[in-house]
Structure 1
Amino acid sequence: MTRLKLTTHVEQDRYGDFYLTDAVRPAPDLAVIPTEGYRVGIFRDPCSDNRIPMLVASVSREKLFDVFHDMIELLGDPVDVILETSHDSSTGEHHDLCRDGIDLPVLQSYLCDFEDLLLNDGCSGIAVMNEEGTCEVQFDEHKLIIVYSADLQPYMNVLARHGVRRDDRLKVITEAEHLHSTNQAYREQFHELCCRLGIAESIEHARW
């Protein structure tokens, strides 16, 4: 593929009615075409062999952050947070940075301040869990929303309110080759978010 064709491909952010953020693009072969929807399945914990209901949602850019915001509202207060970063990774693996027991309104305020980072940086992700550790809402580097909970119905209701339909045959962007995007400004913003959350010391030691 020529440089011009690759640039044109990367600049394309719309597939039908679905809009991508700047964080990720499908590979040029388009083995998976980005589509809105969600599917339900079972996650098997490889350590405990426990089976946990889960859903994976691919949501168009214009409502993605609102869906995530509405879902974490369901977790109660306070919540635990894990920030995920692959900024310094040469292998694409991410490093987890944890903050326990933060008030949900405080977290939501911080997330609104860093909405651009969370939506458009392909090396930043976040997971929010209830205090009991029984429910988790993950907003990953690919800008998929992944929910783990014994009761998925409240989260499915959020998706329905935003017009996101269930499709258990849905293929998401992580199931084929894809491209991540980031820059130095986003790396610095991620560090600032860590400072806001009180985990700046952890990020200093997150080196690959």
Structure 2
Amino acid sequence: MSRGRRLTETERLSIARERSQGVPAADLAVRYDVSLKSIYNAANHASERQMANASRSRVIGIRVSDRDLRGFDAALARRGIAHRSDAMRRLMLAADDILRPDESTAEELRSMSAALNRVGNNVNQVARRLNEAKLRGEPLPYTAASHAEIRDLAGLVFDMADQIQELFRARRRSLDLSVTQALSGLNAEADHDAE
């Protein structure tokens, strides 16, 4: 075994890979003609470097249209935020909260969908009765009560439309609040106070 031999970077990476696959250190020491300590150092150095690389920040790039960028900058300006990169970093950290589906809104929408299906079935039954009477040449069975039912159904549909709009407004307010919380502390006043 040569004590003075230095491993190349390629050899160190190869040793680390083979050690992670279970190749005995003694076998590698013989093959590379180095001491056991050199083998262990090469394997440990590679794992330390992997851990360090995982904790390093990364630079990412995205392509956006001029219009989208102006819109993003305007949204930041409304909040008094001067640095785009800080805002993006905060939004990325808050992405789990911001992008999480709102289960209560989804459940309310499912409930409204079921109610709308029932309304649709009722309207179909009224239309079927009218069509059957027309085909048989009978007077249409459309009474004042039928008319009241149709008006009630239409009112229900309009009420549901209003409820759906309010659900979306509430969700929008919630998202705005989440974004504001994610971006808190980045506004120009906070930057100015820090100086």
Q: Same fold (TM over 0.5)?
A: no
Higher fraction of strand: 1
Give the greater-gyration-radius structure (CA).
2
TM-score relative to the length of structure 1: 0.20
Considering Cα pairs closer than 8 Å and 6+ residues apart, tell me whether 1 or 2 has the greater RCO.
1
TM-score relative to the length of structure 2: 0.20
Higher fraction of helix: 2
